[in-house]
């Protein structure tokens, strides 16, 4: 939210500069995103007088002007349609520096010399767009430095991020109250006196019925008669513009002004449009439609809270009014609505309608139920002063179930326990009093003001105390009341080690949201998706059943920006529906993604692309890091995600633990990825219980020589090579220290369903030199047993 520094100073004395104030607020827990100077710096711009002008000889839309600054006269070319002789204007001389690093230089335009520039507000950085030059009042003194002339108008806008729990700070008074507490100053509330000269009571002109007291716990209304609709005074328009609001007319501007001043949303109805002079607060009916102030006819979702007259809706409660009751130039009598609507009803209705307004943003964060009358009376007073309105006597206020004052039982020892220091009770009460929190004399509890809906627990009060005393003033200590130690076998350390190992492998960790659009996720799940009841948007409506959608979106983002070589991973929970209707099943998964070239471009490196075996190597390295060998890899059956024939499944224990392979082009197309991608996904939560602690044993490097022998088996393609290698290791005995496939051959001289695997065997003993006869016996036994078990034959 944007806060005007000058406007804040009306409620609290500020000796601090805007930047010093921003620093204080940041240290007190408010994130000041930016401090914006309303009038940006410029120099060598003076107030000039357009003495005369004539049409440019070679351009119909340009004028040649003579500008006088009181010391000299200058010939200037100007293209503004509103330029006239006799005007006072801002005039930038040669050498002037304007916002946007723009410097004025001598120029020739269509052959005519121009010695400066007559400025618009946009060119001076005061507007985004201007329709013409800035015409100044006739009594402006010619020759004055224009930046100095605007000095009294200077303001600073503090753009502050307000967290959802601090709805009380979404107003000038709310933020001023917070600043006063931080700086130990007094806040000044607006003072005004109503003169009720409307000739009758509000209750005689309007009645109110609230059918849903949960959705609308309080509804207040007051009537102001005989208003004169027109432009707001300049001071009011300036304040609204300062916080980013466009002035409309005096009545609408007043309700918006009070919204920003008090944080209480108001709505002004044309009383003559309220049929039967009755307001009813009710829920929407099936099939009900309504045209809102923006001119759109909207289908009202079921259970939407509405403000209605006897016949039809006149506003969507807390969000937007309707065209059928809006204030127009002929309006004379105004019904001021000042109500409180529940956070839930406004948030749900706003989401379903796709509407978010200044009012709804405040109701969603909760407004002060004790503020409706004060804000309503403030608006009535301003209508009396600005629009010459006559205020009717009294008001309507339906508050059938007043919210009791909230109290928090608080022991000062809690401060010592959580903050690590002892504080006097007198200091605690003094600081709390600055926040409007008062001690209950009858107990050890504190009475919470109605505007602080966020304070619920003793820990909340501790946080408030810490904010005011200053986080930097809290003592540092090396102990903690929270046990953080974990054993090596806890899952947290297990997941952390996976992350560390993959980073050491040269992969980059990605972090993505768990929420995606339905169209992005349907290709990743054979079952129904877990949907979110009230999603933030349609593209965040479902929870992911796989880690890969986020990795693919991130890959597309990087590839589109020229980073085409990607080695990335992500860990996190995925979500599957519970068949028994309970909470979603949420296993912890690992996703890995490889794409692009195997090596960075270099004169001494091959120009190879990443392939299936790069991914296989990473998975094997990861399993090796955890000393895990009890797994098997099998060719994958047709898959939603991976290309047929270029993917495998990983089986551990009694089930499938994951898959990896080449991602199908249909999947890549969904995410606009235009290069091959290899991916893996493992259920690392499933793997964790299967891990067994392995004690590392160090042995001496063997001093006896080794022997290597090769063989080539012709074997069915359906037999996994790992199964063959594991069998050879099993039957090879203690002296067989290694076995691996080093070549694969497929050709026309072999049967179509068979291929040749070249296997290298490594023999070595730790206590002797092996003999040829000893190795030959083991070698022949391996051949014989493999021929029997796998129907394998030696090639050649």
Write down the pLDDT at residue 485.
46
Q: What is the dihedral of CA 489, 494, 500, 505, to 10 degrees?
A: 110
pLDDT at 297 over 80: yes
pLDDT at 481 over 70: no
Integer Cα distance of 342 and 611 in angstroms: 56
Question: Region 301-326: what's the mean pLDDT?
Answer: 93
Q: State the DSSP code for 235.
A: H
pLDDT at 488 over 50: no
- Beta carbons within 10 angstroms of residue 341's beta carbon: 26
Write down the pLDDT at residue 350.
92
Q: What is the CA radius of gyration of the chain?
A: 38
Residue pair 81/154 in contact by the 8 Å Cβ criterion? no
Integer Cα distance of 125 and 92 in angstroms: 13
Identify which of 131, 129, 60, 121 has the alpha carbon closest to the alpha carbon of residue 92. Answer: 121
Please report where in the chains the tokens 């006896």 appear, as a residue: 704
Could you tell me which residues come within 8 angstroms of residue 735 by beta carbon, excluding any fewer than 6 positions away?
Answer: 763, 764, 765, 770, 774, 775, 778
Please report where in the chains the tokens 């002007």 appear, as a residue: 65
Residue 422 in tokens: 């002892």
Altogether, the residues listed in the chain come to a count of 796
pLDDT band at 72; cut points 50, 70, 90 = very high
Backbone angles phi, psi at 372, to 5 degrees: -65, -45
Integer Cα distance of 190 and 172 in angstroms: 11
Write down the pLDDT at residue 764.
94
| H/E stretch holding 43 | strand 43-56
**DSSP calls for 479-512:** --SS-----TTSHHHHHHHHHHHHHHTT-EE---
Write down the pLDDT at residue 634.
82
- Beta carbons within 10 angstroms of residue 500's beta carbon: 11
Integer Cα distance of 191 and 176 in angstroms: 16
Integer Cα distance of 534 and 348 in angstroms: 7
Integer Cα distance of 383 and 255 in angstroms: 9
**DSSP calls for 304-320:** -EEEE-SSSEEEETTTE
Query: Residue 788 to residues 715, 727, 782, 792: CA-CA distances in angstroms?
Result: 12, 12, 10, 7
Q: What is the pLDDT of residues 562-578, one digit of tens each?
A: 899 999 999 999 999 98
Could you tell me which residues come within 8 angstroms of residue 536 by beta carbon, excluding any fewer than 6 positions away?
Answer: 515
Q: State the DSSP code for 766.
A: S
pLDDT at 484 over 70: no
Helix runs in 626-736, H state only: 665-670, 684-687, 721-731
Backbone angles phi, psi at 64, to 5 degrees: -100, 115
Handedness of CA 786, 788, 790, 791 (dihedral sign): positive
pLDDT band at 533; cut points 50, 70, 90 = confident
Residue pair 282/274 in contact by the 8 Å Cβ criterion? no
**Strands in 201-333 per DSSP E:** 207-210, 218-225, 266-270, 278-283, 289-291, 297-299, 305-308, 313-316, 320-321
Residue 739 in tokens: 């076995």
Please report where in the chains the tokens 């796998």 appear, as a residue: 790
Could you tell me which residues come within 8 angstroms of residue 617 by beta carbon, excluding any fewer than 6 positions away?
Answer: none
Residue 213 in tokens: 């007291």
Angle at 789 between CA 788 and CA 795, to 5 degrees: 65
CA end-to-end span of the chain: 81
Integer Cα distance of 119 and 149 in angstroms: 15
Q: What is the pLDDT of residues 490-514, one digit of tens each?
A: 667 888 889 999 999 999 999 999 9
Integer Cα distance of 154 and 6 in angstroms: 9
Write down the pLDDT at residue 187.
95
Angle at 133 between CA 129 and CA 134, to 5 degrees: 95
Q: What is the pLDDT of residues 429-470, one digit of tens each?
A: 999 999 999 998 777 789 999 999 999 999 999 999 999 988
| H/E stretch holding 406 | strand 406-409
pLDDT band at 479; cut points 50, 70, 90 = low
Could you tell me which residues come within 8 angstroms of residue 674 by beta carbon, excluding any fewer than 6 positions away?
Answer: 559, 668
Write down the pLDDT at residue 592.
96
Task: Give the pairing of strands 278-283 and 207-210.
Answer: parallel
Write down the pLDDT at residue 411.
85
pLDDT at 749 over 90: no
Could you tell me which residues come within 8 angstroms of residue 169 by beta carbon, excluding any fewer than 6 positions away?
Answer: 30, 160, 162, 175, 178
SS3 715: strand
What percent of the chain clears pLDDT 90, i.e. is strictly above it? 72
Write down the pLDDT at residue 153.
86
pLDDT at 587 over 70: yes
Integer Cα distance of 339 and 321 in angstroms: 14
pLDDT band at 361; cut points 50, 70, 90 = very high
The average confidence (pLDDT) of the chain is 91
Beta bridge partners of residue 576, listed in sequence order: 585
pLDDT at 713 over 70: yes
Residue of higher predicted confidence among 189 and 127: 189
Measured in whole angstroms, the distance separating CA 345 from the mean position of its chain's CA atoms is 22
- Beta carbons within 10 angstroms of residue 333's beta carbon: 20
Measured in whole angstroms, the distance separating CA 75 from the mean position of its chain's CA atoms is 52
Q: What is the pLDDT of residues 315-330, one digit of tens each?
A: 999 999 999 999 999 9
Integer Cα distance of 366 and 434 in angstroms: 22
Integer Cα distance of 326 and 222 in angstroms: 16
Question: Region 30-56: what's the mean pLDDT?
Answer: 93
- Beta carbons within 10 angstroms of residue 746's beta carbon: 11
Backbone angles phi, psi at 145, to 5 degrees: -65, 125
Helix runs in 523-656, H state only: 548-559, 612-625
Identify which of 526, 570, 519, 518 has the alpha carbon closest to the alpha carbon of residue 543. Answer: 518
Residue pair 390/384 in contact by the 8 Å Cβ criterion? yes
**Strands in 341-383 per DSSP E:** none
Residue of higher predicted confidence among 536 and 745: 745
Q: What is the pLDDT of residues 629-651, one digit of tens each?
A: 778 888 877 788 999 888 999 98
């Amino acid at each position: 939210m944007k806060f005007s520094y000058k406007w804040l100073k009306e409620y609290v004395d500020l000796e601090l500069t805007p930047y010093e104030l921003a620093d204080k607020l940041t240290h007190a827990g408010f994130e000041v995103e930016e401090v914006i100077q309303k009038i940006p710096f410029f120099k060598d711009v003076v107030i000039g007088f357009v003495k005369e002008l004539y049409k440019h000889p070679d351009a119909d839309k340009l004028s040649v002007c003579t500008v006088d600054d009181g010391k000299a006269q200058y010939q200037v070319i100007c293209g503004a349609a509103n330029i006239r002789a006799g005007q006072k204007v801002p005039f930038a001389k040669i050498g002037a520096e304007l916002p946007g690093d723009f410097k004025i230089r001598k120029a020739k335009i269509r052959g005519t010399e121009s010695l400066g520039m007559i400025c618009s507000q946009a060119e001076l950085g005061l507007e985004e767009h201007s329709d013409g030059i800035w015409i100044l009042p006739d009594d402006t003194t010619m020759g004055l430095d224009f930046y100095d002339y605007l000095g009294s108008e200077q303001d600073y806008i503090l753009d502050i991020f307000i967290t959802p729990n601090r709805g009380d700070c979404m107003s000038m008074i709310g933020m001023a109250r917070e600043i006063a507490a931080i700086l130990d100053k007094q806040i000044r509330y607006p003072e005004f006196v109503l003169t009720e000269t409307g000739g009758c009571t509000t209750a005689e002109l309007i009645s109110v019925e609230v059918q849903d007291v949960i959705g609308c716990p309080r509804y207040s209304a007051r009537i102001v008669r005989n208003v004169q609709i027109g432009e707001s005074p300049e001071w009011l328009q300036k304040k609204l513009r300062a916080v980013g609001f466009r002035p409309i007319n005096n009545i609408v501007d007043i309700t918006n002004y009070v919204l920003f001043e008090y944080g209480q949303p108001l709505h002004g109805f044309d009383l003559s449009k309220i049929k039967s002079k009755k307001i009813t607060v009710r829920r929407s009916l099936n099939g009900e439609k309504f045209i809102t102030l923006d001119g759109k006819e909207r289908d009202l979702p079921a259970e939407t809270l509405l403000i209605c007259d006897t016949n039809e809706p006149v506003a969507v409660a807390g969000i937007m009014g309707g065209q059928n009751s809006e204030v127009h130039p002929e309006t004379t009598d105004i019904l001021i609505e000042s109500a409180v609507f529940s956070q839930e009803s406004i948030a749900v209705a706003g989401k379903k309608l796709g509407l978010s307004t200044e009012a709804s943003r405040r109701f969603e964060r909760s407004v002060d139920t004790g503020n409706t009358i004060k804000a309503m009376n403030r608006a009535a007073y301003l209508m009396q002063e600005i629009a010459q309105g006559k205020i009717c006597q009294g008001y309507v206020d339906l508050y059938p179930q007043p919210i009791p004052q909230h109290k928090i039982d608080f022991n000062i020892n809690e401060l010592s326990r959580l903050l690590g220091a002892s504080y006097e009770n007198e200091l605690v009460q003094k600081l709390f009093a600055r926040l409007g929190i008062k001690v209950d004399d009858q107990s050890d509890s504190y009475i919470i003001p109605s505007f602080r809906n966020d304070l619920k627990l003793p820990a909340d009060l501790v946080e408030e105390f810490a904010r005011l005393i200053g986080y930097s003033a809290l003592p540092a200590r090396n102990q903690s009341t929270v046990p953080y130690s974990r054993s090596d076998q806890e899952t947290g350390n297990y997941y952390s080690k996976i992350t560390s190992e993959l980073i050491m492998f040269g992969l980059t960790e990605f972090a993505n949201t768990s929420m995606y659009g339905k169209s992005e996720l349907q290709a990743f799940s054979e079952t129904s998706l877990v949907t979110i009841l009230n999603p933030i948007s349609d593209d965040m409506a479902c929870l992911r059943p796989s880690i890969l959608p986020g990795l693919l979106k991130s890959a597309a983002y990087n590839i589109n920006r020229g980073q085409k070589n990607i080695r990335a991973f992500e860990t996190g929970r995925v979500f599957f529906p519970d068949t028994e209707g309970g909470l979603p099943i949420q296993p912890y998964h690992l996703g890995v993604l490889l794409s692009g070239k195997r090596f960075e471009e270099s004169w001494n490196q091959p120009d190879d692309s990443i392939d299936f075996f790069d991914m296989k190597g990473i998975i094997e390295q990861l399993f090796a890091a955890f000393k895990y060998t009890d797994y098997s890899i099998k060719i994958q059956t047709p898959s939603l995600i991976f290309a047929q024939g270029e993917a495998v499944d990983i089986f551990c224990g009694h089930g499938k633990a994951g898959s990896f392979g080449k991602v199908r082009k249909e999947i890549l197309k969904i995410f606009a990825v235009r290069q091959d991608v290899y991916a893996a996904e493992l259920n690392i939560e499933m793997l964790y219980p299967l891990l067994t602690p392995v004690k590392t044993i160090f042995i001496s490097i063997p001093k006896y020589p080794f022997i290597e022998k090769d063989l080539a088996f012709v074997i069915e393609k359906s037999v996994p090579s790992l199964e063959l290698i594991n069998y050879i290791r099993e039957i090879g005995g203690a002296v067989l220290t290694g076995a691996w496939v080093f070549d694969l051959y497929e050709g026309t001289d072999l049967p179509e369903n068979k291929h040749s695997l070249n296997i290298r065997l490594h023999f070595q003993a730790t206590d002797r030199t092996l003999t040829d006869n000893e190795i030959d016996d083991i070698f022949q036994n391996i051949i014989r047993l493999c021929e029997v078990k796998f129907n394998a034959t030696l090639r050649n």
